[in-house]
Structure 1
Amino acid sequence: MTSKDAAVKPAEPNRRDILYVATGVAAAGAVAGVAWPLIAQMNPDASTLALASTEVDLSAIPEGQIVTVKWRGKPVFIRHRTPAEIKAAEDVPLSELPDPEPDAKRVQKPQWLVIVGVCTHLGCIPTGKEGEYNGWFCPCHGSVYDLSGRIRSGPAPTNLEVPPYAFIAENKIKIG
């Protein structure tokens, strides 16, 4: 029998091989033990998760009033619009708007406007029921928004953001 014909026998495991495997398993366990807390600390804390969504009772908001609630650390304006305000928002020609968006696309029920109260220019907080259109006015740089939160004049590039929200009852919404 020649060496070419002989079948290659696998080497028998010895103590050194077992030590290599055991050392590798221990090292992998140590790396996992160190990595676990580092990865876990990147999860949001309980206070952040609590702010992920908020429920608002709309029955306490009289017609014509604006209420500010906090959602994800940002102010959210909820405006109970009057029929005159709804008509004024709906009658605006889209050709007059720098960021054209119909009022119907920005609201789920015409009497309730829900928008994030952060100016889209530099992140200031606009004040309500001010400006030429009785909407919002950003005193920092002069952006003016209308009754639907749409930019009408000033340096802001886009309309005020509409957050994700849903009516969970006739007079109750869930934001987020």
Structure 2
Amino acid sequence: MSDEKQDLPPIGDHEDSLREPAPDMKRRRFLVAGGLGAISAGAAAIGLITPFVSSLAPTQAAMTQGPNKLVVDLKPIKPGQMVTFPYLAEPHAIAPVVVVRRTPEMLASLIKIMDQHILRDPLSQQPQQPPYATNIYRSRKPEWLVMFNKCTHLCCVPQYWPEPRSLPGAKDWWLGGFHCPCHGSVYDLAGRVIIGSPAPQNMAVPDYHFEEADTRLVVTGKYGPSGICIF
């Protein structure tokens, strides 16, 4: 489990990522954007299965829910795994909440991808997350990603492709993340949208906190200004 004393690096440490990219980085942006169609076709061709890391099914022991409240026992979740829970994000609108226990390699990829200059909103400047998640990890604690798994384009559910180069059609720039099978939007392992995707912004992060020495997650609602999707 993450240490409560672990500090997130300040946003200012990564402001270089907002500077004008070098010509080779501009070319990389072009190649990435141009290749998203091939990615969608490749993923569809193999049945849109999620490789390498399986998702855990929520169980009665792992999940309890009340009005606008989701409580998750984090202890059974293994490094690299993703768990999905249904959540009433808005009146009459259920949106899946995903919890990912990120490995050190996954966390390193969130810094590495910023050097590629292919993220639309790398520092999460749009209010798609609470203030405490406005960092490169988009989370309270780097290890734990808590996010609405809804593509911000048309509300489809992106699939989890956590391994580098695992997404069919993607090349060396794919360091792991999420791919939407509907229209091809792609996101990194913090839910940050990649340039060339039809999705307009990063995936939304709900309001949440940890309890019981960080072994229990409590989701309390959609963060006010955020938009789960534009549909």
Q: TM-score, normalised by structure 2?
A: 0.52
State the one-letter code of the partner of 1:135: G
Residue pair 1:133, 1:145 contacting (<8 A) in 2 also: no
* Whole-Å separation in 2 of the counterparts to 1:87 and 1:62: 18
State the one-letter code of the partner of 2:121: D
Residue pair 2:122, 2:136 contacting (<8 A) in 1 also: no
The answer to whether structure 1 residue 97 and structure 2 residue 141 are counterparts is no
Residue in 1 aligned with 2:193? 151
Residues 116-174 of structure 1 deviation map (CA, whole Å, 9 limit, x = unaligned)? 00000000000112643321100000000111110014100000101111012221110
Structure 1, unaligned runs of 5 or more = 1-48
Does 1 or 2 have the higher relative contact order (CA < 8 Å, sep 6+)? 2
1:56 maps to which of 62, 68, 72: 72
Give the secondary structure class of the aligned counterpart of 1:156. Answer: coil
User: Which has more helix, going by share of residues?
Assistant: 1
Give the secondary structure class of the aligned counterpart of 2:75. Answer: helix
Structure 1 residues 164 and 85: CA distance shift in structure 2, 3 A? same
1:175 maps to which of 207, 219, 225: 219
Give the secondary structure class of the aligned counterpart of 2:140. Answer: coil
Give the count of matched residue pairs: 128
What's the % identity of the aligned pairs?
A: 38
Taking only aligned residues, the RMSD between alpha carbons, in angstroms, comes to 1.9
1:63 CA drift (Å): 0.5
2:209 maps to which of 151, 166, 173: 166
1:105 CA drift (Å): 5.7
1:69 maps to which of 57, 60, 85: 85
State the one-letter code of the partner of 2:218: K
Residue in 2 aligned with 1:140? 182
1:50 CA drift (Å): 2.9
Residue pair 1:65, 1:80 contacting (<8 A) in 2 also: yes
Residue in 2 aligned with 1:119? 151
Residue pair 1:71, 1:175 contacting (<8 A) in 2 also: no
Q: TM-score, normalised by structure 1?
A: 0.67
Residues 67-92 of structure 1 deviation map (CA, whole Å, 9 limit, x = unaligned)? 00111121011100010001111333
Residue in 2 aligned with 1:107? 139
What stretches of structure 1 move > 6 A for 4+ residues in a row? none
Structure 2, unaligned runs of 5 or more = 1-64, 89-93, 125-134, 168-173, 221-231
Structure 1 residues 108 and 79: CA distance shift in structure 2, 3 A? same
Residue pair 1:68, 1:76 contacting (<8 A) in 2 also: yes
Residue in 2 aligned with 1:44? none
Residue pair 2:151, 2:158 contacting (<8 A) in 1 also: yes
